[in-house]
Structure 1
């Protein structure tokens, strides 16, 4: 019953806010484009341009597209099956992880919105809707569950718990090199789970990251560094603002199976000098009190029948904490026992505001298959969005996070083009709805 209520709530918001009801679009009449995704390992922007990329570095330097070399049938499958194994680009292989995923993509649009539909098979026989928790150890609350690539999971000290995600990057032709190398422009040595990973001391000594108040290194575009291959360099905040004003950023839309799916949304961000959230407020926020580390909210026992769960209940039903639906302020005197779990994130559709709240989404998981429909308004005028328009053609890259893995452990695509009424000029052609 709870799952039905969450689904109905998400569809109701989408239907009320959008022109068409995506739940009633006849997708059988929309062409399907098969886009193979593959495991990239630690193949960064820098690696593509290094001697280790044998036969490819000079072509990349000359501005050639990845697909100009990797153009044979099953190229992505062969790459992924190789890179997922232990080797120079994979120091921490996940046992049993497939090297590739087949993604089915469909697109439609009307006078107000674009609708992007994705389907893929999951590695596990359950939907990856669980995310990190706060666990009471008898004295205090601590984070429980980490991505599979993290050392604490590899060493068996923590369970692998992380949400599934579907990601779309969009470039309108203003980011130099994206049409050729796609998301590899954003993935660099020094980032989390990458070679030469940053240290806290290096971040603290970096003028750019200090200026923008960041404590780690995430996706960025080469144009924002004085040395495109060195995250430790950086242009000034003023210079980066000019790049952004000229449209030199990549839009980043993420559907999250735990942190956006339950409220019928996909979050909205962009990549420039960092992986940034759009202006406004996301639909999710941290549930841990900054000082005490105790939860801010717990489940409303009167509504759902419990105030917390335990580890043996994981992946047995939905465990979303939604402020306006099933949450109440945390009570520290509620008789907590060792092993009690409360989600580390609280969701709120009502609190999502501004550009960060632009994107809707509906999704379902059945028989090992995720079906996700993202709803993107046309003609957005925010300074952190790429405006999709009828007749436009866009460079796009897709990624799927599966099997409790984040950061570089995802599956990625080579660049494709998406056209809204653009005829034969695009790989993926959006159908105009009546």
Structure 2
């Protein structure tokens, strides 16, 4: 190849990189980013309707007073997971050997254009149960909500998308996906959804409004994961700005945030979930994304 052709090829490559919306953005120095320890727990069959039912859930009264799920339960998530995974409560079909909880370290940073979210955790022992998702031993997803337009999003995190008539719930329609009551992207009443699948090694960017869709968002730049020994680490890079179905992130603001891991080739409701937290972009939050 002549020097002239080499220069042209390099220029074209640079333009393509710029046109990819920062797809080659460098990740932060994670050694300098504060990590937040969050315990995911196995929730069994505890949909939104259950947490609002005072005769079965003592925290229903606290919710009505404006308290959050994390206010009451953040320090006991692992214990709740043990009780539910064992079948003592809220699980009609317990899976022997199911991990009750997964401790996760969460880090966040931004560079003025992109948000970076890193999740790391140790792989729990396999249960030996039949594989629900043959293709993906692990999936991790997180959701963002802006402005509290979704009822209870400020208090319950992602629970506003979890309903007793959703698929894999006892007696539910197998075709019914997660949804938000009265959800509407046009009205800003939705969750912005991101997921990474280990077997496919692929990221997805969708949303949850009147139903869940896994694609269509334009904010996701990349999702990359790897397993080093018994430790997983997954990094999501998304633009601060977004299109339809994406939450636009602004410096100085906080956003409702929750995440979940499908471990052990699990699917549907058989995941581990976080309570509801706040992601602060140059602002106060349980997880803080400062500029690097």
Match of 1:248 among 184, 189, 194: 189
Matched position secondary structure for 2:182: helix
Aligned equivalent of 2:208: 271
Aligned equivalent of 1:59: 62
Task: Tell me, yes or no, if structure 1 residue 147 matches structure 2 residue 88.
Answer: no
> Which 5+ residue runs of structure 1 have no aligned equivalent?
1-12, 126-144, 149-159, 200-215, 225-242, 280-354
How far did 1:247 drift?
A: 0.9
Question: TM-score by structure 1 length?
Answer: 0.58
Please give the alpha-carbon distance, in whole angstroms, between the structure 1 residues aligned to 2:50 and 2:180: 15
After superposition, the Cα gap between the structure-2 partners of 1:193 and 1:220, relative to the gap in structure 1 and judged at 3 Å, is: same
Task: Tell me, yes or no, if structure 1 residue 376 matches structure 2 residue 238.
Answer: yes
How far did 1:161 drift?
A: 6.0
Q: Conserved in 1, the CA contact under 8 Å of 2:136 and 2:198? A: no
Task: Tell me, yes or no, if structure 1 residue 20 matches structure 2 residue 25.
Answer: yes
Aligned equivalent of 1:35: 38
Please give the alpha-carbon distance, in whole angstroms, between the structure 2 residues aligned to 1:377 and 1:124: 35
Q: Conserved in 1, the CA contact under 8 Å of 2:70 and 2:277? A: no
Matched position secondary structure for 1:252: strand
What do residues 40-76 of structure 1 show as CA deviations (whole Å, max 9, x unaligned)? 00000111122453422333344431123225x3x10
Please give the alpha-carbon distance, in whole angstroms, between the structure 1 residues aligned to 2:273 and 2:282: 26
Matched position secondary structure for 1:370: strand
How far did 1:379 drift?
A: 1.2
After superposition, the Cα gap between the structure-2 partners of 1:357 and 1:64, relative to the gap in structure 1 and judged at 3 Å, is: closer
Q: Conserved in 2, the CA contact under 8 Å of 1:187 and 1:220? A: yes
Matched position secondary structure for 1:365: strand
Aligned equivalent of 1:426: 285
Aligned CA RMSD, in angstroms, stands at: 2.3
Please give the alpha-carbon distance, in whole angstroms, between the structure 1 residues aligned to 2:23 and 2:111: 10
Whichever structure has more strand as a proportion of its residues is 2
Task: Tell me, yes or no, if structure 1 residue 104 matches structure 2 residue 105.
Answer: yes
Aligned equivalent of 2:7: none
Task: Tell me, yes or no, if structure 1 residue 122 matches structure 2 residue 123.
Answer: yes
Match of 2:266 among 405, 413, 417: 405
Task: Tell me, yes or no, if structure 1 residue 218 matches structure 2 residue 155.
Answer: no
Match of 2:249 among 360, 368, 388: 388
Matched position secondary structure for 2:86: coil
How far did 1:163 drift?
A: 3.2
Task: Tell me, yes or no, if structure 1 residue 358 matches structure 2 residue 220.
Answer: yes
Alignment of 1:53-202 (within 5 A): 53-71=56-74, 73=75, 75-124=76-125, 146-147=131-132, 162-173=136-147, 174-198=149-173
Please give the alpha-carbon distance, in whole angstroms, between the structure 1 residues aligned to 2:139 and 2:31: 24
Please give the alpha-carbon distance, in whole angstroms, between the structure 2 residues aligned to 1:70 and 1:179: 15
How far did 1:19 drift?
A: 5.8
What do residues 150-195 of structure 1 show as CA deviations (whole Å, max 9, x unaligned)? xxxxxxxxxx664311111101123231010111111111212113
Please give the alpha-carbon distance, in whole angstroms, between the structure 2 residues aligned to 1:430 and 1:78: 29
| Structure index of larger Rg | 1
How far did 1:357 drift?
A: 7.4
Alignment of 1:257-268 (within 5 A): 257-259=198-200, 261=201, 265-268=202-205
Please give the alpha-carbon distance, in whole angstroms, between the structure 1 residues aligned to 2:219 and 2:266: 25
Q: Conserved in 2, the CA contact under 8 Å of 1:278 and 1:384? A: no
Matched position secondary structure for 2:164: coil
Aligned residues: 270
Q: Conserved in 1, the CA contact under 8 Å of 2:23 and 2:221? A: no
After superposition, the Cα gap between the structure-2 partners of 1:108 and 1:370, relative to the gap in structure 1 and judged at 3 Å, is: same
Matched position secondary structure for 1:223: coil
Aligned equivalent of 1:310: none
How far did 1:359 drift?
A: 3.4
Q: Conserved in 1, the CA contact under 8 Å of 2:143 and 2:257? A: yes
What do residues 86-125 of structure 1 show as CA deviations (whole Å, max 9, x unaligned)? 2441122111112100010111111220110110111248
Please give the alpha-carbon distance, in whole angstroms, between the structure 2 residues aligned to 1:93 and 1:390: 43
Aligned equivalent of 1:48: 51
